[in-house]
Structure 1
Amino acid sequence: MREGPRRFEDHPLRSAVLNEIHARPFHMMEAPRIVLNYAFMTDAGHADAARDRLAALCIRNGLPQPAAHARHHVVDLCGGTLRWESHAEFTTYSWDARGGAGALPAETPFGEAFEAPGPLMVAARLDLVADQRPIAELLSGFDPGSLAVSEVAGGRGLIASDFREDGDGYTRLLVVDRGLEPQEAGPIVQRLLELETYRTLAMLGLPEAQRLHPELRRIEMDLVANTGRFRASEGFEANRALLDDLTAQAGDLEAGAAESAFRFGASRAYSEIVRLRLNAMDEQPIAGYSSFTAFLARRMAPAMRTCQTVEGRQQDLSRKLARAAALLRARVDVELSQQNRALLDSMNRRARLQLRLQQTVEGLSVAAISYYIVGLIGYLAKGSSVVGFELDPAHVTAFAVIPVALFVWFLVRRIRSKHNDGHGAD
């Protein structure tokens, strides 16, 4: 009997990794179709709340609920299809229903009962229509000053937008079906919506760069001034004060860099997604109109360069501050070493003076003790008659001076040696 395939223990993330490639599939669409797309800025807590609200909406309408940790969910609602997606810092809701250009549908999921999970960042309306009228008539409702128009799918489709809000607060996007298959229209619609979402999010880095510019300018000017002080400063206290100033500047710079690192990194990633979506659409320019690629390159590139410039200035300033602080710290260390050496020399001189004083005191001690002992011996000699013989006190005293002095000197040296051995052992 043939055995079935052997089962192995799955990695905890295997299912999530395998399913991620199918998380946002393209959907087939046929004209006429209207799509409303919203993106709200959300953190982790807001994203969980949005999932809970979506689950409550599904329960009220008898629809399947999203899984506990789902990042995307699709349900049929209000005569159309609602798609919910949770991203790293934003959450999107996309609803499409049958209908063409004109008034909004009477009923949408985004009415009074809808609770936004966070601040609104993107609101886009896309109309997919089948229309063979001349291009000028199709685009009569758009602002010609910021209009971008291109052909896609080998001329079977036309895309257009002026990237401005209409009276309802939506950025208008238009896709004209001139022979598109449903499997072609779906990807074009999704890429255009993603293009609008990610080009808006990419621009969030510009206000951050503009906010940081005055602070960077201040740090640059302070660095120039402190560099001049560094060349002229002398003395340990002056150099230490200058080092404190450089350290404070480095702290301010790193704080700003840490605050903006995520925003600049996200802007780079979003800008790259915009580029990839434009490449995937393979648009063909139309004479007399700016293409999406040319328009967004002209409008987005300066903002992205500004972000890159500010980020580069942060890195360059960080290196300069680090070098200046290192040089100044080396100077402070040298001056501190010189101070320590001078202090050690002073301590050595004091120790030598103490030794000389100690030796002087020892000599005086030997003389004083010897004097008293010799005096005692003289008194004994004077009283020798008491024991039956008489000694000349002067002779006894004279003969006793040298032995007594040697004995006392030896005794003092011995006591000092013991003390020194005790200190050495400690």
Structure 2
Amino acid sequence: MRRNLFTGLFPQGYLALMSDPAPAPVPSDHPRRYELANELHARPFPEVSAPCRAMYLAFKQPRDAATRDRAEDRAHLVVLLDRFGAPHPKPGATHWIGRLGRHTLKWECHTEFTTYTLFLDGLEARPFDPADYEVLPANWLAAAPGLRIASAMIRIEVLENGAEEAVAERLDEWFVAESLSAGYVLDEVAIVASDFRIDTAGHVRFALFVRPDVGARRIGRIVQRLTEIEIYSAMSLLGLPRARDVSARMGEIDKQLVTLMSDLTGDSRPAEEALGKLLNVSAELENLLATASFRFGATAAYEAIVHDRVRVLRESRFAGRQLFSEFVSRRYDPAMRTIRSTEARLRTMAERAARAGDLLRTRVDVERQAQNQRLLESMDRRADLALKLQHTVEGLSVVAISYYALNLASYATYPFYEAVGLSKGLATALLTPVVVLVVFLMIRRIRKGMH
């Protein structure tokens, strides 16, 4: 009875489908679906256990770094891995992390630079000892495809309970007090500190003190953010020298532009001459804008990353020291504002030059139209004169043609004049008005036919 009731509620086709379901069709994937998904996991955070230390290096080619041959960066990494017998990264890889002898190496290939982060277990006897870099072969460092744009040493210690006062004393010993920045991060699970100065060995120093219960992945995230603050602040500041060069040239161009624009209200020079000079100025401004746009755009992107990395640290005050965010606001942001203002000024000047060019072109067009109008008026006067001259010539031509026609008519009619007893003079006089009238009517008819 239960079977009958069940079959009565559902159709037979539905029961057959439920008892033996067919496999659902699999939709086709976008050709880049997995590539895009894997991009989210392309650069995992390293796992770091305290106490330890880290060394960070970033190389950048001085020119056209974004269009460099990245195979050279990978080949340089492979040379180092072969020194230690480590496995190679996959072809086309932009990230590699693994063991390098007794240490851990993380390699990343970015748009404009390549970074190496080496993690060494334990602490050196001398804090921030540059001898740690001897782990990397000197000839390998010298053969790097690019120049060093960033170099940092990070000392990672365990923060014992109640050791904050000792930490403050050590920070005063390690760093320059005038630019020292330090603070609790991530809800006071760690203390980070740096003075962002390059020491005599050419490295920026960072100190990280973590509580004993902080996990290795979390420490790795903090270290990653510190290194990103260092490299992205350096990369963004590359726009400052460029902005200064552009600003100096803009000062010279601005004087020319002001002079040329002042000529718009006067007649000190021909408009076409001023237009030619203004077009040269506008072309130079557009060239400056084109050559600097990539650097300024990259600066804006790197600046956003720096502020994001500082923000995610979630800082709080430690021992009255300034925070990373305060250091960035006081020392870093003014440079970024200079770059932004230079870019805005350059765009404004290019727009001013374009507007001035439009005005001058309008003035040249008006002057040319006036010249054309005067030319047309002179042509009209000449046409009138030609018409009058034509009428005069036509009158003279009637007389001339009539003269020759009268002579011919006279010769043709002389025999008849003698027969009727008319003299030659009287006969010519009688023929003259007839011939003139006939010639006049003939010329008039020809003219009407032509019109």
**Letter matched to residue 217 of structure 2:** Q
373-382 or 189-198: bigger deviation:
373-382
Partner in structure 1 of residue 250 of structure 2: 216
- For 1:113, the aligned partner's letter is W
Q: Distance in 2 between matches of 1:32 and 1:410?
A: 124
Aligned equivalents of 1:99, 1:4: Cα separation in 2: 56
Instruction: Indicate the residue corresponding to 2:403 in structure 1.
Output: 371
For residues 410-425 of structure 1, the aligned pairs below 5 Å read 410-416=441-447
Q: Which of 187, 190, 199 is the aligned partner of 1:157?
A: 190
Q: Give the corresponding residue for 1:97.
A: 120
> Deviation at 1:5?
5.3
Secondary structure of 1:40's match? strand
C-alpha separation between the residues in 1 aligned to 2:138 and 2:22? Answer: 57
**C-alpha distance in structure 2 between counterparts of 1:394 and 1:52, whole Å:** 122
Q: Which moved more, 1:181-190 or 1:397-406?
A: 397-406
The residue aligned with 2:34 is 15
Cα shift at 1:58: 4.4
Aligned-partner residue type, residue 439 of structure 2: V
Distance in 1 (alpha carbons) for counterparts of 2:378 and 2:422: 56
Distance 1:201 1:45 in 2: 16
1:129 paired residue among 130, 135, 157: 157
Deviation at 1:195, TM superposition (A): 0.7
1:280 positional shift: 0.7
The aligned runs of 1:27-46 (5 Å cut-off) are 27-42=46-61, 43=65, 44-46=67-69
Are 1:327 and 2:359 counterparts? yes
Q: How does 1:375-386 map to 2 (within 5 A)?
A: 375-384=407-416
- 1:36 and 1:403, CA in 2 relative to 1: closer, same or farther beyond 3 A? farther
**Given the two structures, how large is their TM-score scaled by the length of structure 1?**
0.89
User: Cα gap change, 1:353/1:280 in structure 2, threshold over 3 Å: closer, same or farther?
Assistant: same
CA contact (8 A) 1:47 1:117 kept: no
Please identify, of 337-346 and 402-411, the stretch whose mean Cα deviation from structure 2 is larger: 402-411
The letter for the 1-side match of 2:154 is: L
- 1:47·1:91 contact (CA, 8 Å) conserved in 2? no
1:407 alignment partner, one of 435, 438, 441: 438
Change in 2 beyond 3 A, CA 1:89/1:337: same
Q: How does 1:229-240 map to 2 (within 5 A)?
A: 229-233=263-267, 238-240=270-272
Q: In the alignment, is the contact (CA less than 8 A) between 1:381 and 1:392 conserved in 2?
A: no
2:77 equivalent to 1:54: yes
The 1:373–1:207 alpha-carbon spacing in structure 2 relative to 1, beyond 3 Å, is: same
Corresponding residue number in structure 2 for 1:201:
235
Alignment CA distance shift 1:48-1:417 (3 Å): farther
Aligned CA RMSD, in angstroms, stands at 2.6
Higher mean alpha-carbon deviation, 103-112 vs 360-369, is at 103-112
Determine helix, strand or coil for the equivalent of 1:23: coil
CA gap of 1:287–1:357, structure 2 versus 1, over 3 A, is same
How many residues matched? 417
Contact 1:46-1:117 within 8 A present in 2 as well: no
2:176 to 137, 140, 143: 143
Separation (CA, whole Å) in 1 of partners of 2:350 and 2:370? 30
CA 1:415–1:63: 2 relative to 1, 3 Å: farther
Distance 2:178 2:281 in 1: 45
Give the secondary structure class of the aligned counterpart of 2:97.
strand
| 1:366-387 deviation line (CA, Å, top 9, x unaligned) | 211111111011112224489x
Quick check: 294-303 or 70-79, which moved more?
70-79
1:118-152, Cα deviation, whole Å (9 max, x unpaired): 12111111121225451234322222221111112
- Give the secondary-structure state (helix, strand or coil) at the position aligned to 1:356: helix
Deviation at 1:419, TM superposition (A): 5.2
Deviation, 1:157, is: 1.0
For 1:119, give the aligned amino acid.
Answer: L
> How far is 1:270 from its partner?
1.0
Contact 2:47/2:219 (<8 A) preserved: yes
Q: Does 1:263 align with 2:295?
A: yes
Q: Corresponding residue for 1:75?
A: 98
Cα drift, residue 192 of structure 1: 0.6
Indicate the residue corresponding to 1:273 in structure 2: 305
Partner of 2:135: 108
SS in 2 for 1:89: coil
In structure 1, distance between residues paired with 2:84 and 2:194: 35
2:147 corresponds to which letter in structure 1?
A: P
376, 382, 386: which one aligns with 1:350: 382
Q: Which amino acid aligns with 1:207?
A: P
Percent identical among aligned pairs is 36
**Correspondence for 1:6:** 25
Q: Distance in 2 between matches of 1:66 and 1:408?
A: 108
Q: For the Cα contact (< 8 Å) 1:77–1:109, is it kept in 2? A: no
8 Å Cα contact 2:417/2:424 also seen in 1: no
